[in-house]
């Protein structure tokens, strides 16, 4: 098995504690004075180790914590596949309004994930994970009830507030995994599971939402999902040991200024790009929101370079981190365009039902597992810059294949190729970016790397959908005819190809620079 990423390695302590659920089967060690050293210093390393659990508790712990990533993608697929059915309930036909069901969800995840990850250090990661599941479940339920007032704005608000749930669950689940297991094969397997469930969650969510939309009533998908999330909240309190995710006696400082500025800035930018296809950039409020959002982010950067405990450790970042995050921005924006418009193309042009469309994306689940295994191998045998280049190439090839889809063609000829390629780009890029960022941060701040990457990923998807929608509606003014609709989809896909190719140029530049500087060097060796 490959060595674990640097961000998940930790020092050990010695102290004896017990789980209230299985006192005789769970224990971990750490020094008694460790809690005394847990001061307001944000660089303090807090990491229990040598966790021992029964087989049942271990399985349940891994399942409950890994479900955070699975449910996040489930919530995306559950809405995207039956998008037309949901839109018809509210009398919405405009593609720009429809895309906000996806963009609103991802933008809130990206906006709050850094802030909420820091809250987990203060309130305790176990509580934060349970709260995230519960919040996610509440707003999933409200999303289903939005069908009664017939207010599309209310449904959009529910979708956006759903995204706050994953912003809680993802960073805190990663931290719990990082602190539960000592470095070794088992820890590698656990984090591989977390990565592998990403495409599986999307596929299962798409099938789940499509089934209820076609055979029952789409709100039942949201209500059922909400119940499942509440079950996970309860299971978190039962199977995540109290000591593992406990609230520290002396909570670290919280970066209020940076949190407010980042949240406001990112949210305004996402709203501006989502409104651009609807109102156009000539409308005052669109560019006004964009300008204010950019100013807030400038203020955020200034605050982060002067505050004692920043949520984003900008001072530790360099040109390598900047170019990697730039690559992630372009390729994951392209992915957002690919996933949204591939569903639109199959359902609108090829007249596939939601369930049939979900079935056509089912190979992603299997390829996700294969991609996780391949990524682990590549990271331990090739330079991380090479892994990133391969990931970006996978995104670019998948977009090009999708952009050239003809209206009538067997599924296996092109769409299948695109579907099986994209998971490799997803998994390799996430793992490579996390490894690169963690290598440029202090040990105490490495757990924030995945939150940074997740924030970039989700914000990029939201903004890219606004860019694609703007291009589509600017170049094609009447989408009511099949030919014009197909032309609009083509332009949207081409925008995704442009983003992925820009990312490929950045990735190639990074690979060449790293080869010139370090040669064929494997990370950690």
Examine the domain organization and report whether 432 and 294 are in the same domain. no
Stronger pLDDT, 354 or 93, i.e. the higher one: 354
Q: Is the pLDDT of residue 492 over 80?
A: yes
* Predicted local distance difference test score (pLDDT) of residue 445: 64
* Predicted local distance difference test score (pLDDT) of residue 196: 83
Q: Is the pLDDT of residue 20 over 60?
A: no
Stronger pLDDT, 127 or 191, i.e. the higher one: 127
Examine the domain organization and report whether 326 and 281 are in the same domain. no
Per-residue model confidence as pLDDT tens digits over 156-176: 999 999 999 999 999 899 888
The mean of the pLDDT values for the chain is 84
* Average pLDDT of the residues in 33-39: 37
Can you say how many angstroms the Cα of residue 301 is from the centroid of all Cα atoms in its chain? Answer: 22
| 448-464 burial: b if 16+ Cβ within 10 Å, else e | bbbbbbbbbbbbbbbbb
| 332: nearest Cα among 110, 69, 85 | 110
Report the 10 Å Cβ neighbour count for 331. Answer: 33
Examine the domain organization and report whether 98 and 145 are in the same domain. yes
Examine the domain organization and report whether 330 and 302 are in the same domain. no
Q: Is the pLDDT of residue 21 over 60?
A: no
CB 468 within 8 A of CB 453: no
In a domain, 39, yes or no: no
In a domain, 40, yes or no: no
Examine the domain organization and report whether 385 and 423 are in the same domain. yes
Residue 86 Cα distances to 83, 353, 422, angstroms: 5, 13, 26
Q: Would you state the structure tokens that stand for residue 91, as one six-digit string?
A: 């009398």
- Percent of the chain's residues with pLDDT above 70: 86
Examine the domain organization and report whether 295 and 325 are in the same domain. no
Per-residue model confidence as pLDDT tens digits over 197-230: 889 999 999 999 999 999 999 999 999 999 999 9
In a domain, 521, yes or no: yes
Domain CATH code at residue 143:
1.20.1250.20
Instruction: Answer with the one of 284, 308, 332 that is the final residue of a domain.
Output: 308
Residue labelled with tokens 């295994």: 373
Examine the domain organization and report whether 278 and 221 are in the same domain. no
* Predicted local distance difference test score (pLDDT) of residue 282: 83
In a domain, 93, yes or no: yes
3 band by pLDDT with thresholds 50, 70 and 90: very low
Examine the domain organization and report whether 382 and 482 are in the same domain. yes
* Predicted local distance difference test score (pLDDT) of residue 178: 78
Number of domains in the chain: 3
Q: Is the pLDDT of residue 525 over 70?
A: no
Q: What's the domain range around 142?
A: 53-249
Examine the domain organization and report whether 260 and 157 are in the same domain. no
Per-residue DSSP letters for 205-231?
HHHHHHHHHHHS-THHHHHHHHHHHHH
**H helical segments located in 280-414:** 284-304, 319-344, 354-360, 363-381, 384-403
Examine the domain organization and report whether 342 and 481 are in the same domain. yes
* Predicted local distance difference test score (pLDDT) of residue 96: 81
In a domain, 45, yes or no: no
Residue labelled with tokens 């400082």: 253
In a domain, 20, yes or no: no
* Predicted local distance difference test score (pLDDT) of residue 442: 64
Q: Is the pLDDT of residue 379 over 80?
A: yes
In a domain, 475, yes or no: yes
In a domain, 24, yes or no: no
Length of the chain: 525
* Predicted local distance difference test score (pLDDT) of residue 42: 60
Q: Would you state the structure tokens that stand for residue 512, as one six-digit string?
A: 């060449």
* Predicted local distance difference test score (pLDDT) of residue 220: 96
Examine the domain organization and report whether 300 and 410 are in the same domain. no
**Prediction pTM value:** 0.87
* Average pLDDT of the residues in 367-384: 88
* Average pLDDT of the residues in 485-500: 94
Examine the domain organization and report whether 281 and 317 are in the same domain. no
């Amino acid at each position: 098995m490959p060595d674990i990423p640097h961000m998940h390695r930790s020092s050990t302590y010695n102290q004896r504690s017990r789980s209230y659920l299985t006192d005789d089967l769970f224990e971990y060690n750490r020094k008694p004075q460790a809690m005394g050293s847990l001061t307001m210093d944000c660089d303090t390393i807090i990491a229990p180790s040598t966790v021992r659990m029964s087989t049942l508790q271990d399985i349940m712990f891994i399942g409950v914590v890994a479900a955070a990533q699975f449910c996040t993608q489930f919530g995306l697929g559950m809405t995207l596949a039956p998008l037309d059915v949901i839109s018809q309930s509210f009398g919405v036909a405009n593609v720009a309004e429809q895309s906000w069901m996806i963009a609103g969800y991802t933008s809130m995840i990206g906006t709050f994930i850094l802030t909420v990850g820091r809250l987990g250090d203060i309130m305790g990661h176990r509580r934060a994970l349970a709260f995230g599941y519960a919040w996610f479940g509440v707003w999933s339920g409200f999303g289903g009830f939005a069908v009664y007032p017939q207010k599309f704005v209310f449904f959009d608000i529910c979708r956006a507030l759903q995204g706050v749930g994953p912003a809680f669950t993802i960073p805190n689940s990663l931290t719990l995994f990082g602190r539960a297991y000592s470095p070794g094969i088992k820890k590698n397997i656990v984090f591989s599971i977390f990565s592998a469930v990403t495409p599986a969650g999307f596929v299962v969510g798409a099938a789940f939402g499509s089934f209820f939309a076609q055979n029952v009533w789409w709100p039942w998908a949201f209500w059922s999902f909400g119940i499942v999330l509440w079950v996970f909240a309860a299971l978190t309190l039962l199977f995540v040991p109290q000591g593992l995710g406990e609230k520290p006696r002396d909570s670290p400082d919280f970066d209020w200024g940076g949190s407010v500025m980042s949240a406001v800035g990112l949210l305004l930018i996402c709203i501006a790009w989502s409104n651009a296809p609807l109102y156009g950039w000539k409308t005052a409020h669109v560019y006004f929101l964009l300008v204010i959002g950019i100013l807030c982010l400038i203020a955020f950067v200034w605050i982060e370079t002067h505050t004692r405990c920043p949520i984003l450790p900008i001072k530790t970042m360099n040109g390598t981190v900047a170019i990697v995050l730039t690559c992630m921005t372009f390729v994951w924006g392209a992915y957002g365009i690919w996933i949204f418009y591939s569903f639109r193309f199959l359902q609108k042009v090829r007249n596939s039902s939601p369930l049939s469309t979900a079935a056509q994306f089912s190979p992603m689940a299997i390829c996700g597992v294969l991609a996780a295994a391949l990524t682990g191998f590549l990271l331990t045998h090739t330079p991380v810059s090479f892994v990133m280049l391969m990931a970006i190439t996978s995104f670019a090839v998948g977009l090009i294949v999708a952009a050239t889809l003809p209206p009538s063609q067997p599924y296996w000829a092109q769409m299948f190729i695109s579907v099986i390629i994209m998971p490799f780009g997803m998994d390799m890029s996430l793992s490579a970016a996390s490894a690169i960022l963690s290598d440029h941060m202090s040990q105490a701040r490495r757990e924030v790397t995945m939150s940074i990457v997740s924030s970039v990923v989700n914000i990029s998807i939201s903004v890219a959908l606004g860019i694609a929608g703007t291009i589509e509606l600017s170049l094609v003014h009447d989408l009511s005819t099949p030919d014009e609709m197909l032309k609009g989809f083509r332009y949207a896909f081409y925008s995704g190809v442009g983003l992925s190719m820009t990312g490929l140029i950045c990735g190639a530049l990074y690979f060449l620079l790293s080869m010139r500087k370090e040669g064929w060097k494997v990370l950690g060796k």
